[in-house]
Amino acid sequence: MKRKACAEVGIKSVDVDLPEDVSEADLISKVHQLNSDPDVHGILVQLPLPKHINEENVLSAISIDKDVDGFHPLNIGKLAMKGREPLFLPCTPKGCLELLKRSGVKIKGQRAVVVGRSNIVGLPVSLLLLKADATVTTVHSHTKDPEAIIREADIVIAAAGQACMIKSDWIKPGAAVIDVGTNAVSDPSRKSGYRLVGDVDYAEACKVAGCITPVPGGVGPMTVAMLLRNTLDGAKRVIGQ
């Protein structure tokens, strides 16, 4: 999808495919090569990495000026600090906020609940909502009575990775629901034998929510679009210098 989207808008994409048993040193060396290539404006390391590779070491090796995924510790650190602006925002959280803003959903002063606390979505989207002046609560695997907390939310960001975990009676009538979850469930009627569903029970929740994203076709395309936007912004920054 990323390759196809790049081709559609005129961004040149280059794949660097490495074997699963590649050493951490060789992977980081490849990242350094791309860092030093002036024709490359964005670097994305596809996660997750094989277990023998330290993810933090690899992400830290990416030049902060080319970190279009927004996962460099300096970018995340600046996102967490008041009055600081990261060079790039993580694509999926950025896409979630863009969906809310373009749909006319008020964020400032609203109660937002983020379900999940991953480094990729849950944590950064919580920080972005805070920056947008929402009152943010994070629900995770050790949260007591998550239903009661989610029911109070004007905005729900579901990113737990649990198929149809959030039921319609957990959702406040009129709430905005962004479903980041992508879960494969068995479906013998499909040629593939499975279908994709979100973390929210969409069929029932759409009768209660004021607006809700489908799975697939909701957050996914926005994530890709934000990756392209980050790459364009990175190129403009370099050309402007």
Which of 26, 46, 169, 187 does the annotation list as catalytic? Answer: 46
* Length, in residues, of the chain: 241
Q: Would you give the DSSP letter of residue 48?
A: S
Residue 65 annotated as catalytic: no
Residue 233 annotated as catalytic: no
Residue 30 annotated as catalytic: no
Nearest to 139 by CA among 120, 123, 127, 128: 123
Helix then strand then coil, % of the chain, to nearest 5 = 40, 10, 50
- Rounded to 5 degrees, φ, ψ at 53 are -110, 135
196 to each of 164, 183, 199, 204, 213, how far by Cα in Å? 11, 5, 10, 16, 13
Which of 67, 69, 154, 179 does the annotation list as catalytic? Answer: 69
Q: Which residues are catalytic?
A: 2, 46, 69
